[in-house]
Structure formats: C-alpha cells, structure tokens
C-alpha cells in the first residue's frame, strides 16, 4: 500500500512522467531482450583503471576532494586539452570536476539561465536539456536538425536568436544522430554569437569517439568560441565506467565562477578515489586516443552483421550510436516498432521520437553498438529476422 499525503503539490514538470527509456527498460527485462538500446557499455573497463581506484581507496583517499576537484586531475585535463585542441585552460580556475556530465549540464544551465531567458538547442536531443531549462524558468527552443544528414540549418538558427537568447546548447559528436560538427560549423556559430552575451553550452561527452579519420571539432578548438563556452565531458563515456558518475567542465574564469557557486551546493565535490584513479590513468594518452579505433571496429561489425536486415542504416560519424530507418517497409510509429522488436524479436532499441519535445516521428530507431561481440551478433541476427 502506498503512503497518502495531505500536501497539495504544484509540479514544476507536470507533463514529465516515466521516460521512454524506463518503459523500454522494463519491457526489455520482461522479455529478456538483447540490449541494443542503452548508451552504456556491457563489457568491462580496463582492469588497470579499477586497480588505480582500488589503490586510491587502500591508500586512504576516501574523504572529500577539494571542491573544484583533485588538483592533479585538473592539471592532467588542462594538459590533455591543450595538447589535443590547442586551448590552454587554467587548471586552478577554469577546470571543474563534476559528479557526471549530467550534473555539469544541470549546473551550467542553473548558474547561467534566468527566468524568461531563451535557450536554443537542436533536436533530436538528449532528453534532459529542455526540462532543466524549464526548471530554471527559461524557455527551451528546439530547432530540428535536417533529416537524414542531421545538419544544423544556420539560417534557421540566426532567425531563432532574439534579445532573450541566453544560451545555445551544442552536442558533438551528437546523440542520437551520430553526426559531428565541422570547422565550418564552428565558424558559422562564431559569427552568429559574435558581439552577443550568448553562452555556448557544449556537450562533448563523446569527444574521443570519431570515425574515419575525423577530428573532434569542440569549442576548445576554436579560440573565439572557447571564450564564451562551457564544455562538458565525461570520464564515464570515455573509460567505459558510466556508473562511476564523474565528469568535468571547462570554461573561462568568469563563467566558471558562476558554475562553482552552484556546484558547491549540488554536491560539493566529486568522488575522490575515482579522481585519483583518473589522474593516473590520463597520463597514458593511448587510454583515450585508442577509443576511435575501438568503437569504429564495433560500428563496422554491426554494419556487416546488419547488411541482410530490412533496415537502412544511416551514416555514423561519431559516438557509439547508429540510426536505422524502417519507413520503407512499415507505417508503424517508431514507438510501436520498438515495442514490436522487443516483444516479437527479443531485441531492444530506442525510438527517435523520444528525443523530440513534440514526439516527431521520422521512422527511425537508435541502436547502440557499445556492446560486446556476442550481443552485437545476437542483436543483429534478431533484426535481420524482421519481415518487410
């Protein structure tokens, strides 16, 4: 029996209920479906990283770290970013260790968006952006990326910018479309934000997962954009430890000062032993530079396994996701298709409509290839058995 309450509640998110991800997770568990839905690896991380964290615990690194993060880890990140992207961030005042990239996104929006401010982002989009903006009294403005290439329409963005625009959220490599920004995209963004007070919040959690020789075009690669950007990234996505919930932010000092004000009241400091472990693990660049090759092999394996399926796979430039089109053989909504795949074929995917505020249905589903070979093979075999 559930507990009754006499409290009258006025919900800040009255239209937000159980997400499609939870619904799919429950249905998948019920039918023991092969998991190609969740954006989390099902294979172990490097045992050396586990040993680094275990050693940190044994050596007594179990109390609070400094509020902004372990100095050695912040320095390691500053060095990595300068080496890879050319932008030097001050480790003491411009690097912040967070309790996940999600916390970083929430913190940045909370710190910088005021009631009545408009925040532009691009759909399909990670599902937390719009609700977090609304929680701060802001207005989320979702601009739809062009299907099937999922490119930003820069003229549309220019038309959407108003005096109320406070923030533009960028995500590259992009979840769920698996597309990436180019140097030309960054130049266009710089032109549109020049001489404004617009902050760019750049979600770059898949920064090390790009394919076919592409280079990451994050905000730190563009000096003008770096001056107005908050960059959010993730140790969990990079090192296959999504359950550890540690991420980081980079931002100019004036912006970071505001972020830290919120961070100190959200969690004060991220997990200490994980920070110690990451600080050591980052010293070997191959630990993150090998990711593109690692995931490209998985992408290509899934492509090969799916060649006889009825689905059409869209190009995948980065991240560990791939979109599959089915509109040429079925009129089902994407949610109906996903449920049918779970119930009738025992494989779980994600409907792309879950990434739109208005539920736009382009007859596309998202597959995750952050899985071991057995899961990829079994999942692809199930999808190949779908009848046209």
Q: What pLDDT shows up at residue 24?
A: 86
The domain locations on the chain are 20-45+291-384, 47-287
In the chain, which residues have pLDDT < 70?
18
pLDDT value for 306: 97
Q: What is the pLDDT of residue 141?
A: 98
Distance CA 314, CA 323 (A): 5
- Confidence at residue 136, expressed as pLDDT on a 0 to 100 scale: 97
Fold adopted by 20-45+291-384: 3.90.1150
On the 0-12 / 13-18 / 19+ scale of CB atoms within 10 A, 21 is middle
pLDDT for the residue numbered 387: 87
What is the structure's pLDDT at 39? 87
The DSSP bridge pattern shows strands 247-250 and 229-234 to be antiparallel
pLDDT of residue 49: 97
Q: What pLDDT is recorded for position 388?
A: 78
CATH code reported for the domain at 47-287: 3.40.640.10
CB 153 within 8 Å of CB 146? yes
> What one-character DSSP code corresponds to residue 371?
S
Q: What is the structure's pLDDT at 21?
A: 76
Specify the pLDDT at position 1: 74
């Amino acid at each position: 029996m559930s507990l009754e309450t006499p409290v009258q509640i006025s919900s800040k998110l009255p239209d937000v209920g159980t997400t499609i991800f939870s619904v799919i997770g429950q249905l998948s568990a019920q039918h023991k479906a092969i998991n190609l839905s969740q954006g989390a690896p099902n294979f172990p991380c490097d045992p050396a990283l586990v040993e680094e964290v275990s050693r940190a615990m044994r050596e007594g690194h179990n109390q609070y770290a400094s509020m902004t993060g372990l100095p050695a880890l912040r320095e390691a990140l500053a060095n990595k970013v300068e080496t890879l992207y050319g932008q030097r961030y001050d480790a003491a005042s411009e690097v912040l260790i967070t309790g996940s990239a999600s916390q970083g996104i929430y913190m940045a929006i909370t710190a910088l968006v005021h009631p009545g401010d408009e925040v532009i982002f691009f759909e399909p989009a990670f599902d937390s952006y719009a609700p977090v903006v609304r929680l701060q009294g802001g207005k989320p403005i979702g601009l739809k990326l062009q299907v099937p290439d999922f490119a930003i329409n820069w003229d549309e963005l220019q038309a959407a910018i108003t005096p109320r625009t406070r923030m533009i959220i960028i995500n590259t490599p992009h979840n769920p479309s698996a597309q990436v920004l180019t140097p030309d995209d960054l130049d266009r963004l710089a032109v549109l934000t020049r001489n404004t007070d617009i902050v760019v919040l750049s979600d770059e959690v898949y920064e090390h997962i790009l394919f076919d020789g592409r280079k990451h075009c994050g905000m730190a690669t563009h000096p003008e954009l770096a001056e107005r950007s908050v960059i959010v990234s993730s140790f969990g996505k990079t090192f296959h430890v999504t359950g550890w919930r540690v991420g980081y932010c980079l931002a100019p000092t004036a912006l970071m000062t505001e972020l830290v004000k919120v961070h100190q009241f959200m969690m004060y400091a991220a997990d200490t032993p994980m920070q110690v472990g990451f600080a050591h693990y980052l010293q070997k660049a191959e630990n993150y530079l090998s990711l593109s090759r690692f995931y490209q092999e998985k992408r290509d394996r899934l492509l090969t396994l799916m060649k006889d399926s009825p689905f059409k796979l869209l190009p995948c430039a980065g991240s560990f996701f791939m979109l599959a089109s089915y509109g040429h053989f079925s009129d089902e909504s994407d949610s109906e298709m996903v449920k049918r795949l779970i119930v009738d074929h025992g494989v779980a995917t994600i409907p792309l409509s879950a990434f739109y505020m208005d539920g736009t249905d382009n007859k596309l589903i998202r597959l995750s290839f952050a899985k071991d070979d057995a899961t990829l093979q079994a999942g692809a075999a199930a999808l190949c058995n779908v009848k046209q």
